[in-house]
Amino acid sequence: MNNFDLVVRRARVATAADTFDADIGIVDGRIVQIGLQLAAGRQEIDAAGRVVTPGGVDAHCHLDQPMPAPIRMADDFDTGTRAAACGGTTTVIPFAAQQKGQSLRAAVADYHRRAEGQAHVDYAFHLIVSDPTPTVLEEELPALIREGYTSFKIYMTYDDLKLNDGQILDVLEVGRRHGAMVMIHAENADCIEWLTKRLEAAGRTAPRFHAHARPMLVEREATHRAISLAELVDVPILLVHVSGREAVEQIRWARAHGLKVFAETCPQYLFLTAADLGIDDSYLGARCVCSPPPRDKQNQAVIWDALNDGVFTVFSSDHAPFRYEGADGKKPGGAEVAFRHIPNGIPGIETRMALLYSEGVLGGRMTLSRFVELTATNPAKAFGLHPRKGTIAVGADADLVIWDEREFVLENRHLHHAVDYTPFAGQTLRAWPALTLARGEVAWDGQDFHPRRGRGRFLACGAPTLLPRAKADA
Ligand code: DUC
Ligand code: ZN
Ligand code: ZN
């Protein structure tokens, strides 16, 4: 009789702590044994000494998020989680976004309808709080946190989402009282609007001017303000999509003062620069319009250093998928529009893991354990999914990636998202998943995607475990 449904043999297992050689025994989608010379499984996969990491946890991605017409996200839960699986990500955490005037409950119910029965890998939800009414603060948020929505994102920019400082304090207070993780998009909205109007008055509306409207100081100022507001409330925060030196300096300052400030960065700040938004007025630069914008090579180096020395806890894609051609994406209504009207965001859910593995691990910039920590273990801890997700351990879900170390030049035709471009085309990759297992099922075999809508299940999140449990309020 076989003990195991599946045995992954001769794996070079990498966790956030160690790298070691072992076989991995799987029953009912869970890891039940890790050891040498395990008994036979009903199915066997020979990893042949290749590196095996936990499946990635992409803790910041946008899928099928409602947008103002005519704009529409290209990826829904079907295509977005298909792309995730093919790129080695087995858990995604997109956002149930509250519209102003909408109840948070309604936003969550709507988002469940979009996800239900569609996903190929597991998913949890963050909440976006854009309208923190007394009902939201006192009733909806506490109840939703108890039900497994333990993180929310708030914005300091974007007219339809931004909160003022008083509202931010109110939301932070709920985070503190109920032990939730508050993610903050830190850019100063008034500075951006002031700069945008001046650029428009001067006729500077091409995509590349998006970066001129959002210089690093608008991120620095908002980052410092977010840190100060969190200090006032005495609550941990996670600053998302940090782009360069000035925000990194604020985070280092906060840490040096003993503040519990976590930070996330994304591939666009390592692999793109502002030049990708265009060096002339060509509209093609719209493909790389995202916020904060990519900076320059010096700032890329700052982000690499900060990834290694612990400033960053999480590496996410911020996948925000809009088509370039077609009227529902980067050309709203079919027109080449002024930069303020270009939907912000780039696709990256499928390329996140391979970019960091290639340039980080194989490029000699970080250890394999640090790669695992940033792409899987820490995001699982930050959002209360560890140790079920984000590690290779007995009892964890059998979400695994076997890595194939081979060199190729990335093209959009290699990818499985529903976007008509990748901003990372032309990058030389040195690795790609040879196999992705999602709860013990082959989801990607190195050549083909193995679809099963509904394989992905909703995960209720627990409390973040990056820090010791906070003391209860007296
Ligand atoms: N910026 C965001 O804040 N969210 C989605 C994409 C982007 O560029
Ligand atoms: Zn954001
Ligand atoms: Zn985002």
Per residue in 247-264, pLDDT (tens digit) is 999 999 999 999 999 999
pLDDT at 474 over 60: no
CA of 450 to the centre of ligand 2 (A): 31
Residues 267-300: tens digit of each pLDDT: 999 999 999 999 999 999 999 999 999 999 999 9
> Which amino acid residue places its CA nearest to atom 2 of ligand 1?
291
pLDDT tier for residue 2 given thresholds of 50, 70 and 90: low
Average pLDDT over residues 442-469: 94
Nearest ligand, CA of residue 186? 2
CATH architecture, range 56-373? Alpha-Beta Barrel (3.20)
Average pLDDT over residues 384-408: 98
CA of 155 to the centre of ligand 3 (A): 10
The whole-angstrom separation of Cα 279 and Cα 40 is 58
Q: What is the pLDDT of residue 467?
A: 77
Question: How high does pLDDT run on average in the chain?
Answer: 97
> Which amino acid residue places its CA nearest to atom 6 of ligand 1?
345
Q: Which atom of ligand 1 is nearest to the CA of 62?
A: 5
Length of the chain measured in residues: 474
The whole-angstrom separation of Cα 409 and Cα 388 is 34
| pTM for the full predicted model | 0.98
> Which amino acid residue places its CA nearest to atom 7 of ligand 1?
345
CA of 291 to the centre of ligand 2 (A): 7
CA of 253 to the centre of ligand 1 (A): 25
Q: What is the pLDDT of residue 27?
A: 98
**Tokens read off for 425:** 């085309």
Specify whether the CB–CB gap between 217 and 246 falls below 8 A: yes
CA of 319 to the centre of ligand 3 (A): 7
pLDDT tier for residue 471 given thresholds of 50, 70 and 90: low
Instruction: Output the ligand 1 site: residues, CB below 6 A.
Output: 62, 185, 290-291, 318, 320, 344-345
362 CA to centre of own chain: 22
